[in-house]
Every structure is written in structure tokens, then in C-alpha cells.
Structure 1
Amino acid sequence: MSVLLEEKRKDECINSIDNNLECLDHFTKDVVLGVDKTKLCSFAVALEGWRRGLELKWYTKDAEEFKDFIVFGVNPPGRLFSLSSNERTHYFFRTRGDKVSNLAVEICADKDETKNWLERAGVPVPFGRRFDETSSDEEIILSAEMIGFPLVLKPTNGSLGEGVITNIRSAEELAESLVYVRQQLGYSNVIMEQFIPGEEYRVYVVDGKVIAAYNRIPSHVIGDGRHTIDQLIELKNEERKVNPRLASCLIEKDQEVKTYIKRFGYSYDSVPSAGEEVFLLEKSNVSSGGDPVDYTDKMPEVIKDVAIKAVNAIPGLIHGGVDIIVNGDIGVVIELNPTAQIGGSLFPVEGQARDIPKAIIDYYFPETVDSEKTSFYFDLKKVLQPLYSRIALEVKVSPPPSGKVYAKRFVLQGEFPELKYHMWLRKRVFEHGLNGYAKTLANGSLEIIIAGTDKDVIGEFKSVFAEPQDRAVIDKVEEYEWDRAVKIGFDITAIQYKVNLEKVLKQKNKEIEKLSKQLTKSEKVEQKLEKQLQRMQRSRVWRMTLPLRTCATTIKRLIRPRKPV
């Protein structure tokens, strides 16, 4: 196939996905541009509160306010924030607020402990067994017969689906999986449990109510009779880049995928027939290439009740995600996540988007439920810059203008000196107390969006274009109503302006990025060493040798030569 036809197919796929992507009216792709991964979740909840008039602050992980808050991972800025009303302040780590207890977080961080609590509450869970670092691979393989194939192997403390191997059908496959999970990934403590056939769902519960549910379809491609699996993955990834949630979760062509498709007689060079569905992994995590399909209204009440019962089984777990395998009217809970990502419900590949941030803020700040909400939003990257550059431990976001938002779209045709006219226009917008942007379109026209809370000012702004400007000739002004969200400030997207600005910022961003990477690398190394130390201290060998080490320390002190007086 020619490169031209290949690009045409790619564009058609992207346009199709883009047009069919159903977003919340107030939380669209434009609002989250450049916000990805777990920052997307944090931003969604924080923005919902800020739009209601709550005071919003962002923090680094070193902030005093979060010293007793359990967080996992390195967590660069954009994950920790607080929201305050006149009556209360609440702190959040991504989607998890401070009403979720530390005990709940600790229980859910250990998959085996989670199962114990769920079993005691009568919640269906898979039968299985835990093995620590003292258990050999041979011992685990022998125990597999007691549980019965097919099996699932997963770390006791893994996240985002890392190290989870499902539908293991033989001792040979189990042996390979153990090498991968325990040796290559470094998860020595694992759980082996029965494989439950069925479809997997992520259900999000807030205060005893199911707010959203979506089917997590495992990573897959659909053949067309022309492209190899390798090429189909590339095309699928182009489609995923259009979706704000999936853009940071592209399908990886790694050893795990290669091994899985080999089971079914495929390789990366195989060419599936038209319409043939080829699954690349058994696990369905969105972070591993899975597709979220909204299922909230279709989910049977009996399954929703299982999810609610599972959350209620953990003390202090007020809200969070429940992963359930569903087979008919039977639901088996496989995991609970108090800090669950919610992007799959905000940007499903099919179905209706669900407003989880609204439910969270309604619960934490009931006094704001009926408050008027602005359609403005802020630039998260700019707000977090002081935290990334380490010149502050916290930043406060300026409140949005109060009152109903009015907006207009103007399209100017004519000739005007790009940079000079844009800068003059920005000045006039700010003088009128407005927000918006100016963008040079492909045909040379200038698109201008303005928004504010004074309807008269918005209505009269058109007269600004009649003001004489050096070398500017405006032939025509088209005026339209604008009902989309508008970012605070006034951005300029002009070719010359962009080039000049990028030259200035590029070097600064490189320097900041370099320093940030060095600090992140150091933090990762420190965290890894800390985990290794904790594992060693929890091991049976460490506990058994405690008397010997204590004795050795005492002897060293006794025989240490004294310094001359």
C-alpha cells in the first residue's frame, strides 16, 4: 500500500473517532489539552470544585499539608490539591479525598488483605493463595494443582495492571509467568488465584451509589486483510491519540503481547482477515491498551449492588473504583482502588461520558450542589510551573470571574501585521476585562474568541475592530455566538508570534525539564531502595537473623579500640 493511501486511511480513522467521541459539555478535549495520565483525573476533580467558586491550591509532595496522606509513586506536581469553601477544606490525592481513611488505602494496597475483608463481608472473590519472597517458583507451581488451571498471577502490591498475567493454562505457562513477574519485574510477593471467565468492568461508587460503570475490553485490533498486526497496532495507536484518556496509554509491542498472540498462532507479521478480531492481551486495563465502553445504564442492579457492598466492606472507603468480572448475573470482585483513574468514564470510546467529578464534589462540598458554575477553565501547565521549577511548595489558583459567562466568536478577513495586531488586540481584550484567544486560520483569516460576565461589554466589543491600526486592513467581520468553555487569559496562536515565543521558551523549558528529570530520577532510585529495604525487613530471613545481627553489633562495640585520651 502506498504511503499516500496509508495516511488517508489514518486520517479517516482519526476523524471518525474524533467525531464520535462524546464528551461532557463542560469537560471537552480542548479543556484537557496537554493534561494526561493521572493529572487528567486530578484536574477533572479540581476544576469541578474551582468552577463552583471553591478556593483551589496545588501542592508538591513535600508540602506539610500532606505529611499524613498516603501517596504512592513519585507524584510530580498536578496530583495533590486542596479545595476550600467558607465552611471546610478538603485535601485530595488525584481522585481520592481525605474522607477516605488511611486504613482503607492500606487494605486496598494489599490485594490479599483486600480479599480477606471482602470474604468476611460475603462479597464474591476468586479462590487463591498468597506467596511471599521465601516461596520458590517450584512451590508455587506445585500449589497450582490445588487451585486448578486456568489461573491468574499478580503482584500483591502492583498497580495499573503491571505484572498481572491472566488465563494461565499450564504449568509451563505458569513457570514463564513467574520468571517475568518475580525476576524481571521484581514483584517477589504474588497472588495466584482462579481465572474467572467473563467480562471485566470498572464500577465507580460514591457514598453508596454507582456513578459510572464501563466495560474494559482487552487490547485488540481488527483485521482488514491488508495490514499486519504490527501495522494495525500503529493505526490503533493513532486512533487512541485522539482520546484524552487513551493518548497516554498506547498499545506497547512488547514481549508480553508477543507471547500472548503466539498462543493463538499469530506473530507481529501476521495479516488478519477483514473483520477478524485479534486480542493482544488477556488483561483489560486501559493503561495496558484496553478500551473503555460505557455500561452504566445497562449494568444489572444486582451487579451494582455487589460493587456497593464491596466498597462498604472496607472501613473508611467512602468512594473508589471496583473491578468486577461479570458472567450473567454473577459478579466477582477482583480489586478495589481508592485512587482509581476516572478518565475511562470521562472519555469512553463508546457510550455516554459520566460526571464522576461532580459526584465527588457534591459529596465533599454539599453546600455547593446548587451553586452557579462558570464555564471558564485554567491552564494547568502554567499554574503548576512554580511547583515544577521548585520555587514554591504550593500555588493558589486565582478564582474565576463570578456570574454568567457570555461569549462571541469573530472571524476577521483582511490584511494585518500578524504579531503587531495580535499584541494590540490582546491589550484591548484585557482592557475590557475579557478572556479568550486569537488564532490564525488556514485560509489566513483571524479567529477571535472573547468571553466575560458583562453581556454589554461582549456585545460592544465588535466596535474595537473598527479602530484604526497601522497597516491593518479589515475587509469583513463575521460574528457568531460561542457556547463552549473558554480558558482564562488570552492566548495567541499566530505563526510569527509562536515562532518568536517558542525561541524564548524552548531553552528555558529544556533547562527546567533537565532539572526535573534529574530530581525525578533521584526520587525513583530512593523509592526503589526504600521498597527493597522494606521487603527485606519483612522477610522471614531478616526476622530469623535478628538475634545474630544484634549479637554481632554488640561484639563490634566491645572490641572497638578506644581512642587515646
Structure 2
Amino acid sequence: MQEEISKIDIISEDDMSEFERREGLKSRLMEEEARRRGYEVKRLTFDTTLISIQGIVVLFKDMNGPLSSAALNTVVDDKHVTRTLLKAAGLAVPQSTYLPISKQEEIVSFAESISYPVVLKPNGLARGQGVFMNLSSKSELKEALSKLENIVDDNQTSVHVEKHFIGEDFRYVVVDGRVIATSQRARANVVGDGTHTVLELIEAKNKERLKDRDLKNFLIPTDIEKLTHLTREGRSLDTIPEPDEKVILRDESNISSGGEGIDFTDTVHPEFEKLALQAVKAIPGLNYAGVDMILEDITEAPTPENHVVTEVEFSPGPVSMFPWSGEVRDMPGPILDFYESNLDRLKPK
């Protein structure tokens, strides 16, 4: 059976586009771990590989294999469906509504009923695209709706409007009923030295990010229009922060928005880990995923008021493997362990 992986017709180097010649980081990390274990690997495209695990050929897209199905991907990528399943499982989720962009008056009415600030989210976009945070007034909400309509190019597209929950953003990575990593996804920021401007501090930090295998792809932007938190506080790129002053630049906490991961695996309260496991179980058939929560203090026990579960990620990024601070936490290893222990489910009948 091991030999069969080499018989598959792989796209020739000449036929592959420049994009396909590159390798997605998540699939590359899986490939490296598989080779470390002595498994044969063939790359098909940018993000797909064939890994022969103890003689059984398994197709992976990024870090997701056949026991993490395309159907589940569709379900989890639909924020509205996921939110419905999480709420039905008894998990705390943000107060929200789900309406077409065209129904602006209803959206505004809902926002006012739950009180500003609110968050506006498209249903199926990833990496924070089209997400507008901390909208504090009717005018800000309508402006965000107009921008979002331009992004999705359809005012009949439904969007989430939800209560802005004050807290920090955390990602739990769950594999086979176990939390293998917990990371804070800290918003893009710089720390002042009393001498350099915000722009100079961003440029210096980006030089450090360029040295990181993951963060080099997600530099902190220097476009002032994207630095919403900075401008809301009345600051500019020319501002010189005080020594050791931490300046938050953006409202979004995604790594792709210039954020950074901080490891909290050893300090997270175990009851929050249980909630992360419960969130994955709320999606029938899901074996591994990322669970996002916003909460006030990760070391304290959860209460109905101190956290919300915001999303479940089908193919979470490797935040835990490239933390800005804290211990590195493996992702592909536990996933390959899961497939090794479930090979009987993959054998041809």
C-alpha cells in the first residue's frame, strides 16, 4: 500500500503556476512532521498533500484530513449556523441578529436596543475581512454597512450585528477531545520608548515580524485608515508614546491584522478548557478545530457574564507554533497522532 502514493499522477513542475509552487505554511508544517516520523509525503498543490501513514494514503488540505470533512467546513464557515449550534449547546454567545445589509433601519434599531458599541461581521469571510469593531453610533454603523456592502458587492447578503464584548481574544486549539494550546490573539500594538514615533515603532516591529515564519506574512499596516484604535484615541503615526507605554493600533485581534499570539496554555482556567471542548462537541462530527472566545480574565472561572464564544475555526492558523511570547505548542503532531489512532476508519472496506 505504501508504494501506491508514488503511482498517483502529480502535477508536473512545468504545469504548476508560480502560486502552486509555493507551499502553504499549515500544509508545510504537516509535511515536516510527517517526514520526521518517517512517512512518505507527496505534495499536490499549494495546500494539499498526500501522507502515507503506516501504509494508508491520507489526503490533507492544510492540516485537515478525511476525518474533518468538507461538509463540516461548510457548516463551520457559516457563522450564523455555528452560532445557532453553540447557543443550542448552552454556550454563552454574543447578543446578535442576522439580517440583510439592505435592512439598515432594522439593523440600526437592533443595535440601539442592545446599546452601542456593536460589531458588524460578514457571514463567510475569513481573517477578519469585512469585520468592523467597536461601532459606537448610528452614523458609524451605517458607514460600516456601506463599506461592507462594497466588500461583498450585494446588499442582500446577511450580516451579523452583535454586542461588542469588552475583553481579550483567545484561541483554543482542540484535537480529539483535548485542548492542546491556548493563545491570546493580542491586537496589533507597539510599545513606546519616549523617542520614536508610532510609525517608527511599527517599522521596527515589522522588521522583527519578518524574521518569523508565520508573522512575516502579516505585517502591521502603516495605512492610518486601518489603524482605527489609534485614531479613535486621537493619536497619529507621528505620536511619540511614553517609555513602556503600550499603544493599541487596531480593533481587530487577528494575526492577519497585525496581531500576535501569546501563549496561555499553562495558565488558562480548566473550566474555560471545558467550554472549548463543549464548543467543538456542539458541531456534530468535528474532531479538531479552533475555538475563539472573548473574555475578561482567562485565569478566573467562567461565569455567564465574563465571556462569550464567538467562533469555531475549521482550519485554525498555527498561532500556537509561532508565539510572540511564551512556549511553542505543537499542532501537526497531535493531529497526526489522531490519524494514527484512527487508521481503521480509513482502511478500504
Same fold, TM-score > 0.5, yes or no: yes
The whole-number CA distance in structure 2 between the counterparts of 1:348 and 1:86 is: 32
Question: Of residues 79, 83, 87 in structure 2, which corresponds to 1:119?
Answer: 87
Structure 2 match to 1:44: 29
Indicate the RMSD between aligned Cα atoms, in angstroms: 1.9
Q: Tell me the CA shift for residue 136 of structure 1.
A: 3.4
CA distance in 1, matches of 2:61, 2:225: 31
Give the partner amino acid of 1:272: P
Counterpart position of 2:280: 311
The answer to whether the Cα contact below 8 Å between 2:197 and 2:240 also exists between their aligned partners in 1 is: yes
Matched, 1:139 2:124: no
Q: Does the alignment pair 1:334 with 2:310?
A: yes
Q: Is the 8 A contact 1:103 1:315 kept in 2?
A: no
Post-superposition offset of 1:38 = 7.7
SS in 1 for 2:24: helix
2:186–2:260: 8 Å Cα contact kept in structure 1?
A: yes
* Counterpart pick for 2:338 among 356, 363, 367: 363
Contact 1:325 1:334 in 2 (8 A): yes
CA contact (8 A) 2:185 2:254 kept: yes
Partner of 1:250: 219
In the alignment, the residues of structure 2 paired with residue 162 and residue 58 of structure 1 have an alpha-carbon distance, to the nearest angstrom, of 29
SS at match of 1:305: helix
SS at match of 1:97: coil
1:234 counterpart = 2:203: yes
- 1:151 paired residue number: 118
The answer to whether residue 75 in structure 2 is matched with residue 90 in structure 1 is no
Unaligned 5+ segments in structure 1 are 1-36, 60-76, 369-565
TM-superposition CA deviations, 1:324-364 (whole Å, max 9, x none): 1122333421111111111x211111111011111000000
Letter aligned with residue 241 of structure 2 = P
1:273 correspondence with 2:220: no
Give the letter for the 1:363 counterpart. F
Matched to 1:247, the amino acid is K
Secondary structure of the corresponding residue to residue 146 of structure 1? helix
Cα offset, 1:298, TM superposition: 0.6
1:292 counterpart (258, 261, 268): 261
Q: In the aligned structure 1, how far is the partner of 2:196 from the partner of 2:235?
A: 13
The residue matched to 2:173 in structure 1 has which SS?
A: strand
CA, structure 1 residues 186+222, in 2 after alignment: closer, same or farther (shift >3 Å)?
farther
Q: Using structure 2 for the length normalisation, give the TM-score.
A: 0.85
Supply the AA of the counterpart residue of 1:364: Y
Do 2:116 and 2:163's aligned partners in 1 also have CA atoms closer than 8 Å?
yes
Structure 1 counterpart of 2:19:
none
Match of 2:128 in 1: 161
| C-alpha contact 2:130 2:151 (8 A) present in aligned 1 | no
**Aligned position for 1:347:** 322
| CA-CA distance at 1:287 after TM superposition | 0.8
Q: CA deviation at 1:116?
A: 0.4
**3-state secondary structure, aligned to 1:152:** strand
The answer as to 2:141 corresponding to 1:174 is yes
2:98 pairs, out of 116, 126, 130, with 130
Q: Deviations over 1:134-172 (max 9, x none)?
A: x33333222211232111111101101111122222212
What is the rounded CA distance, in whole Å, between the counterparts of 1:255 and 1:182 in structure 2?
A: 22
1:87 Cα deviation after fit: 4.6
**Which structure carries more relative contact order (alpha carbon 8 Å, separation 6+)?**
2
Task: Supply the AA of the counterpart residue of 2:37.
Answer: R
Structure with the higher helix share, 1 or 2: 1
C-alpha distance in 1 between matches for 2:342 and 2:176: 16
Displacement after TM superposition at 1:185 (Å): 5.6
Shift of 1:186: 3.8
Partners of 2:208 and 2:92 lie apart in 1 by 37
Map of 1:453 onto structure 2: none
With over 3 angstroms needed to count, the CA separation of the structure-2 counterparts of 1:185 and 1:225, relative to structure 1, is farther
Tell me what 1:23 maps to: none
Q: Give the deviation of 1:51 after TM superposition.
A: 2.0
Moved more, 108-117 or 42-51: 42-51
**1:227 aligns to what SS in structure 2?**
coil
Mapped partners of 1:263, 1:367: distance in 2? 51
Aligned match of 2:71: 103
Counterpart-to-counterpart distance in 1, 2:328 and 2:54: 31
What percentage of aligned pairs have identical amino acids? 37
Distance of 2:311 and 2:236 partners within structure 1: 32
Provide the C-alpha distance between the structure 2 equivalents of 1:90 and 1:122, rounded to a whole number of angstroms. Answer: 35
- Shift in alpha-carbon separation, 1:275–1:242, aligned structure 2, 3 A: same
**What amino acid maps onto 1:336 in structure 2?**
V
Supply the AA of the counterpart residue of 2:330: D
Q: 2: CA distance between counterparts of 1:264 and 1:154?
A: 23
Provide the C-alpha distance between the structure 1 equivalents of 2:189 and 2:114, rounded to a whole number of angstroms.
29
Q: Match of 1:545?
A: none
The question of whether the paired residues in 2 share the 8 Å contact of 1:214 and 1:294 is answered with yes
Match of 1:504 in 2: none
Question: Structure 1 residues 365 and 232, CA, compared in 2 at 3 Å: closer, same or farther?
Answer: same
Structure 2 unaligned blocks of 5 or more: 1-21, 344-349
Q: Quickly say closer, same or farther: Cα 1:39–1:364, change in 2 above 3 A.
A: same
* Alpha-carbon distance between aligned partners in 1 of 2:231 and 2:104, rounded to the nearest angstrom: 24
